[in-house]
Structure 1
């Protein structure tokens, strides 16, 4: 997962960097490194990012099904 994919998920979450970092179990600074492409997340973090992405898609589907 590259930095643009991570940024897209982060921006859709409407969370602060600190809250998003906590959600994926990393420090804010490490998360900032992911956003800049300076560090690549490990498989556990990638799984968490995909989980968040799925939740966001489900929430969007719920909100548009009225």
Structure 2
């Protein structure tokens, strides 16, 4: 069963929240992340960071 994620965006300007991986560098998509655990990015901003494994889509709570 597939999990829904916040990364299912409808517009290029829509933003989704991503979880920052422990191995992430100090900057993600040009933003200093510091001690943050999550970051809000557009699909375009997130693409390279997702491929590098620096961020992960945040799962959306399902109505069970």
TM-score normalized by the length of structure 1: 0.34
TM-score normalized by the length of structure 2: 0.35
Larger % of strand: which? 2
Higher relative contact order (CA 8 A, sep 6+): 2
